[in-house]
Amino acid sequence: MLGDGVIVASALAYMGILFGIAYYGDHRADAGRSIIANPYIYTLSLAIYCTAWTFYGSVGLAAVSGVDFLAVYLGPTLMAVLFWFVLRRIVRITKVHRITSIADFIGSRYGKSGLLAGLVTLIVMLGILPYISIQLKAIAASFGLLRQYPEVARMAASVQQPIWMDTTFYVALILIVFTILFGTRHIDNTERHEGMVAAAAFESLFKLVAFVLVGVAVTFVIFDGPGDLFQRAAAHPDLAPLLRFEVVPGGYGGWLSLTFLSMMAFLFLPRQFQVLVVENVNEVHIRKATWLFPLYLFAINLFVLPIALGGRLIFSDGRVDADTFVLALPMAEQMPLLALLVFLGGLSAATSMIMFETVTLSTMVCNDLVMPILLRANPRWLAGRSDLSGLLLSIRRVGIALLILLGYLYFRFVGESYALVTSGLVSFAAAAQFAPPVLIGLFWKRANRRGALIGLTGGFLVWAYTLFLPAMARSGWIGHDFVDVGLFGLEWLKPYALFGLEGLDPYMHSVFWSMLVNIGGLVYGSLPGRPDPIEQVQGSQFVDILKRERHDGDSLLWRGVVETADLYDLLARFLGPQRASEAFDRYAADRGGYPLQADSHLIHYTERLLAGAIGAASARVMISSIVMGEVLSIEEVMTILDESTQVLEYSRRLEQKSRELEAASAELREANNRLRELDRLKDEFISTVTHELRTPLTSIRAFSEILLSNSEMDVEQRSKFLSIIVKESERLTRLINQVLDMAKIDSGRIDWHIDDLDLRALIQDAINSTSQLFHDKTAMLREELGNEPVMIAGDHDRLIQVIINLLSNAVKFCPEPDGEVTIRLQPSLNAWRIEVIDNGPGIAPDQHKLIFEKFHQVNDSHAGKPKGTGLGLPISQKIVEHHGGRIWVESEVGQGSTFIVELPGKR
């Protein structure tokens, strides 16, 4: 009933439908009415993660190790949780920088490094081969099984047949044709393939339906519902352990490494990066996919365990490979249509993976491997060709063919010895190598090209040594010795137990070492030194992507002159004239025309368009080859960058300056007020001095005139008047001297003569020179000065002035007769204390401070009281303070006064 013809015809018909969908999708995209611009199509296209491996291999794995298979889906589910945090950044960056692939992304991030992009491509090429090979294997195996319907028999290994007899080979050829038709119809400047995405979404839906139908059939038709199925499995001694976690190889550690690997693979496998990031139409779709995609995974895994258990129960003799249970079960139960549907579902899963993976990869090979080499090797030859888009397409087509054929070869010569899952994990581990440079590069600005190169190379080598080479060895292509006893017989170089790390399953072992080397290399290589300017620019643009609204930073890097026409020619060569002129029209529409001489903005615009076609690194080389003045030198870029930071710095400083100015002007206002106050004080001082000078002068003039006009005055009165004149003259002289003293001290122009002196002797001198005053007033002076000399450092003449002033004040205010003054010299804490005590009228406490102010005199009504100048105490205070001491008065009205001087000095 199901002859080869039917199978092949339905397969081709199915492919035809897919092609129709893809064509329609592209057509709608060209017309500007995308059919994939909704979150559901986006989510379904993500499901190309579920390949033939899921379709067949999950059941195979579950049949052997129970719930182990779930780890492969737990990873993506966890990653989906992180979508909004991680994926959104990556998508935004990709849109802004017109990134076309994972290689382009990593290369771009690390200073548009062509070397890095090439390395990534190389890793992907090698790493992905096992993965492609298992898809081919799945198609071939399912076809081989189905064509024997109704017989369910183990298929003979295809390796024994010559290539031209091998159906897998023909499957590969057909896939090459379809992939080229799907994926390389034209060169697009965004490298998006809407038609393919639409087809992938359809395929995801199809395989889900097929798988669920089988599950339902097994659970409810072949068995009597899930209860019946699980009961029978639990009763079976071999199957019961599958329902528990203990069978997981490598235990929880193995689970963790599987989950981690699938998490990284989900994001960094080239085709996943393509559908997740490059084909993303709208960031908002990510939000819905965050919960919708895990739901899809749940649905497609729901029946894995029932099918696996059912298979084990029905094919208990082991004659059927567990990897083919999905197909074998409907066959054994005589359900030909379901079997055919399952075959098409598996085909669907395998082809979508192969097509997306190889298209993506061929773009990378073309942009990041072949073109850079051609550009470097012979730029003139390239420059001489008018339309390069044909060349690009050819390179890609060859790339696709080559990749699928390589996958076939791997399948034929290596892959036979592995189950589906294990081969896939080798690829997963390779893809996981991109996690450090991408993820760390997203959040750490200092990660640089050197670090990424060291890390990636190291991680890749470890991966190759611990997973890829042992796989080759296992199939007999290279000697097996190094796996068993270590390279050169060195135990610690055994690929499955590096440095004696044993007891892990090979994947966990490899992941551990490669990630250690990779992350370590990245961090170690990035730490020293300063990154290149272009690395800095890219680094901060990637890390700060969500903070920026506009992304002009790049255009800083182009300077120099180029004719707009030259830019157009360059673009036309890679995109074709039609797309190039469309792009320039768009530019003109946006910016209101374009200049004859392209500015840096237009150059940058062209570079981004070109980057979409040939990758960032190559685009940079191409642009720099035609822009006169070339790329800015590193120094110049640094200068530009520095200048912009300098502008920021400058404005920051301006703000600070203006704040400082405000503060300064406030200070100035303050100072001005102080000055005005001082000026007022000075006016008052002068006015007061004038008054004080005029007062004695008035008496002098008045009595002089009286004497002059009264020549017959009696002698007694004459001499009284004359002595008044003399006294007032003395007062005037004293006043003038003190005003000068005060002025000198105030302005700091006084010369101080500080010497060691004996304070006791100094006081004695002062007493001697005032003895006449005491004698005149018959006042008594009591001396309490001690017997020892008191040595301090001070200005002798000034200090004696202070003591004389205090003594004369004291005697001046004492009562007459019975005036009593005591002068005392005694030590106090770290100082010498001189007290002058009188029994005069005393001073009210509110005057204690005022008497030390200039011209402030304690006025009272007692006429005939001796008048001072009002400067004695202020001058004394200045002198004492200059010596580091202090002077004050202690007194009550009616209790006499005590003036105290404290001078610092050794005791």
Partner 1 sequence: MANKILVVDDEPNIVLSLEFLMKQAGFQVRTASDGEAGLTAITAEQPDLVLLDVMMPRKNGYEVCQAIRANPDWKAIRIIMLTAKGREVEREKGLALGADDYITKPFSTQEVVERVRELLAEAS
Task: Out of 701, 775, 782, 849, name the contact with partner 1 by CB under 8 A.
Answer: 701
Q: What single-letter amino acid sits at 834?
A: I
- Does residue number 714 form part of the binding site for partner 1 (CB under 8 A)? no
Binding segment (CB under 8 A) for partner 1, from list 156-164, 535-543, 635-643, 688-696: 688-696
Cα–Cα distance for residue pair 867/844, rounded to 1 Å: 19
Rule CB under 8 A: is residue 703 a binding residue for partner 1? yes
Residue in 68, 194, 368, 728 binding partner 1, rule: CB under 8 A: 728
Q: Are residues 809 and 899 in contact, defined by beta-carbon separation less than 8 angstroms?
A: yes
Contact in structure between 75 and 259 (CB atoms under 8 Å): yes
Q: How far apart are CA 602 and CA 362, in angstroms?
A: 29
Q: Which is nearer to partner 1, 700 or 807 (CB)?
A: 700
Q: Which range binds partner 1 by CB under 8 A, 494-502, 686-694, 739-747, 779-787? A: 686-694
Print burial letters for 386-403: b (CB count within 10 Å at least 16), e (below 16).
Answer: eebbebbbebbbebbbbb
Of 683 and 892, nearer to partner 1 (C-beta) is 683
In angstroms, what is the minimal distance from the CB of 699 to partner 1?
A: 4
Name the strand (E) or helix (H) holding 886: strand 886-891
Task: For residue 690, state whether it binds partner 1 (rule: CB under 8 A).
Answer: yes
CB of 864 to partner 1, least distance (A): 5
Q: Which of 383, 393, 697, 750 binds partner 1 (CB under 8 A)?
A: 697
In sequence order, which ranges of 371-439 are alpha helices (DSSP H)? 371-377, 379-383, 389-413, 420-432, 435
Residue 148 or 704 with smaller CB distance to partner 1:
704
Between 408 and 703, whose beta carbon lies closer to partner 1? Answer: 703
Task: Please report, as a single letter, which amino acid is at residue 415.
Answer: G
709 binds partner 1 (CB under 8 A): yes
| Residue among 469 and 706 whose Cβ is closer to partner 1 | 706
Check binding of 715 to partner 1 (CB under 8 A). no
Size of the site for partner 1 (CB under 8 A): 26
* Residue among 73, 515, 84 at smallest CA distance from 299: 73
Q: Which region, judged by CB under 8 A, interacts with partner 1, from 149-157, 584-592, 696-704, 761-769?
A: 696-704
Answer yes or no: are the C-beta atoms of 588 and 535 closer than 8 Å: no
Verify binding: residue 691, partner 1, rule CB under 8 A: yes
* Cα→Cα distances 80→266, 291, 296, 621, 637, Å: 9, 7, 12, 37, 39
Smallest distance, Å, CB 772 to partner 1? 21
Compute CA 225 distance to the chain's CA centroid, rounded to the nearest angstrom. 55
Nearer to partner 1, 391 or 689 (CB): 689
- In angstroms, give the least distance from the CB of 657 to partner 1: 45
**Residue 710 within binding range of partner 1, rule CB under 8 A:** yes
The reply on whether position 733 binds partner 1 by CB under 8 A is no
CA–CA separation, 17 and 495 (whole Å): 46
> Could you tell me the end-to-end alpha-carbon distance of the chain, in angstroms, rounded to an integer?
128
**Which CB sits closer to partner 1, 224 or 705?**
705
> 420: phi > 0 → left, psi -120 to 50 → alpha, else beta; which?
alpha
Name the one range near partner 1 by CB under 8 A: 244-252, 261-269, 272-280, 699-707: 699-707
Residue 658 vs 690, nearer CB to partner 1: 690
Out of 702, 750, 831, 900, the only residue in the binding site for partner 1 (CB under 8 A) is 702
Nearer Cβ to partner 1, position 682 or 701?
A: 701
Helices (H), 632-783: 634-709, 715-747, 759-777
Which one of the spans 40-48, 410-418, 499-507, 683-691 is the region binding partner 1 (CB under 8 A)?
Answer: 683-691
Alpha helices by DSSP H, 236-269: 251-268
Quick one: which segment of 130-138, 575-583, 689-697, 812-820 binds partner 1 (CB under 8 A)? Answer: 689-697
* Site of tokens 């298992």: 134
SS3 837: strand
Alpha-carbon distance 445 to 42, whole Å? 31
Cis geometry, peptide bond prior to residue 330 (ω within 30 degrees of 0): no
How far, in Å, CA of 95 to CA of 86, rounded? 15
Q: Determine, following the binding rule CB under 8 A, whether residue 237 of this chain makes contact with partner 1.
A: no
Say whether residue 748 binds partner 1 (CB under 8 A).
no
User: CA 583, CA 606: separation in Å to the nearest integer?
Assistant: 9
700 is an interface residue for partner 1 by CB under 8 A: yes
Minimum separation from the CB atom of position 687 to partner 1 (A) = 6
Residue 893 has φ and ψ, to the nearest 5°, of -65, 130
Rule CB under 8 A: say whether 699 interacts with partner 1: yes
Does the footprint of partner 1 cover residue 546 (CB under 8 A)?
A: no
**Nearer to partner 1 by C-beta: 794 or 842?**
842
Near partner 1 by CB under 8 A: residue from 705, 816, 853, 892:
705
* Identity of the residue, 532 or 728, whose beta carbon is nearer to partner 1 in the bound complex: 728
Considering only the stretches 459-467, 532-540, 690-698, 818-826, report the one whose residues sit in contact with partner 1 under the rule CB under 8 A: 690-698
Which of the residues 846 through 885 are near partner 1 (CB under 8 A)? 859-861, 863-864, 867
- Per CB under 8 A, 36 contacts partner 1: no
Q: Of 51-59, 371-379, 643-651, 703-711, which segment contacts partner 1 by CB under 8 A?
A: 703-711
Q: Please name the residues in contact with 694: beta carbons below 8 A apart, sequence gap of 6 or more.
A: none
Work out how close the CB of 729 gets to partner 1 at its nearest, in angstroms, rounded to a whole number. 12
Which residues lie closer than 8 Å to 597 by C-beta, 6 or more apart? 561, 562, 563, 564
Residue 724 as a binder of partner 1 (CB under 8 A): the answer is yes
Q: Based on CB atoms, which residue is closest to partner 1, 556 or 700?
A: 700
CB of 702 to partner 1, least distance (A): 4
Residue of the chain from 687, 778, 826, 830 that contacts partner 1 (CB under 8 A): 687
Contact pick of 319, 652, 680, 694 for partner 1 (by CB under 8 A): 694
How many whole angstroms separate alpha carbon 847 and alpha carbon 845?
A: 5
Does residue 682 bind partner 1 (CB under 8 A)?
A: no
Place of tokens 């010559």: 162
- SS3 per residue for 665-695: HHHHHHHHHHHHHHHHHHHHHHHHHHHHHHH
Residue 697 vs 900, nearer CB to partner 1: 697
CA pair distance 816, 797, nearest whole angstrom:
30
Torsion sign, CA atoms 279, 281, 282, 288: negative
Interface positions with partner 1 (CB under 8 A) = 687, 690-692, 694-695, 697-703, 705-706, 709-710, 724, 727-728, 859-861, 863-864, 867
